[in-house]
């Protein structure tokens, strides 16, 4: 049954990234959502020429709102499978919806073997894997909460990292031309055996693509660039 709560949504075989899920994602993201983005938010996309022709890369945007995943799926030429926190798959209709959009469940506290296997299976398909390095939605104007998990997965899959800067999705707009969304796609960060180097390059790229400032959190304290 397509509502089956017992299904393990952390596991995805390459065959599940098929024409039916691709069609559903195109219909929802490239048609319905893109009408809203262009008509209400006056969407601008820059840097599409930087997107690799193959699928040997991981899509890594900054994160401002729930509009971000369908935005990226609508903008990029390939279908994108995003990680989604496992709690979302406990909600019946939402579980079906994001399942068919190609998302898979993940425990954000620990990336288990099933997550790694799913990411490898995505690479075997014609899709690309997408992950928000911040883990959760951030504040406008700053980049915080960056984890190293995306760089570790890039190392395991031997993939480049595609930095994508998103500006303007944090405000929900409904009136025509009342909002503004800008998507800036940077040049791919080449594969590296050094995850920390990839993290640093992604932070640098996102700062340039968004104009936001990276702020490191240490416990409850927030450290700016000039702090000690």
Pairing type for strands 142-143 and 128-130 reads unpaired
The pLDDT confidence band at residue 224, using thresholds 50, 70 and 90, is very low
Give me the DSSP letters along 23-38: HHHIIIIIIIIHHHHH
| pTM given for the model | 0.90
Specify the pLDDT at position 5: 52
Specify the pLDDT at position 136: 86
Specify the pLDDT at position 110: 65
> What does the pLDDT look like over 118-167, one tens digit per residue?
999 999 999 999 999 998 888 999 999 999 999 999 999 999 999 999 99
Q: At 154, list the tokens.
A: 């890039």
Ramachandran sector of residue 164 (left: φ over 0; alpha: ψ -120 to 50; beta: rest): beta
H helices present in 107-171, as ranges: 113-124, 149-157
**Chain length of the chain:** 228
Specify the pLDDT at position 6: 53
For the residues 163-191, what does the mean pLDDT come to? 96
Specify the pLDDT at position 186: 98
The pLDDT confidence band at residue 18, using thresholds 50, 70 and 90, is very high
Specify the pLDDT at position 220: 40
Mean pLDDT, the chain, integer: 90
């Amino acid at each position: 049954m397509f509502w089956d709560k017992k299904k393990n949504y952390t596991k995805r075989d390459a065959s599940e990234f098929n024409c039916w899920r691709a069609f559903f994602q195109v219909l929802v993201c490239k048609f319905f959502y893109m009408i809203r983005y262009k008509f209400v938010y006056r969407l601008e996309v820059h840097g599409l020429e930087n997107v690799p022709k193959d699928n040997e890369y991981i899509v890594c945007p900054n994160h401002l709102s729930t509009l971000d995943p369908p935005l990226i799926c609508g903008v990029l030429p390939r279908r994108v499978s995003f990680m989604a926190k496992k709690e979302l798959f406990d909600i019946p209709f939402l579980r079906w919806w994001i399942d068919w959009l190609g998302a898979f469940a993940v425990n954000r506290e620990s990336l288990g073997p099933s997550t790694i296997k799913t990411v490898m299976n995505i690479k075997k398909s014609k899709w690309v894997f997408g992950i928000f390095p911040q883990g959760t939605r951030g504040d406008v104007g700053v980049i915080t909460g960056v984890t190293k998990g995306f760089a570790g997965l890039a190392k395991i899959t031997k993939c480049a990292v595609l930095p994508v800067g998103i500006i303007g999705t944090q405000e929900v707009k409904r009136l025509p031309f009342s909002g503004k969304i800008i998507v800036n796609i940077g040049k791919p960060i080449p594969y590296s055996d050094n995850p920390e180097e990839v993290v640093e390059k992604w932070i640098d790229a996102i700062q340039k693509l968004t104009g936001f400032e990276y702020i490191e959190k240490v416990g409850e304290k927030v450290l700016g660039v000039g702090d000690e």
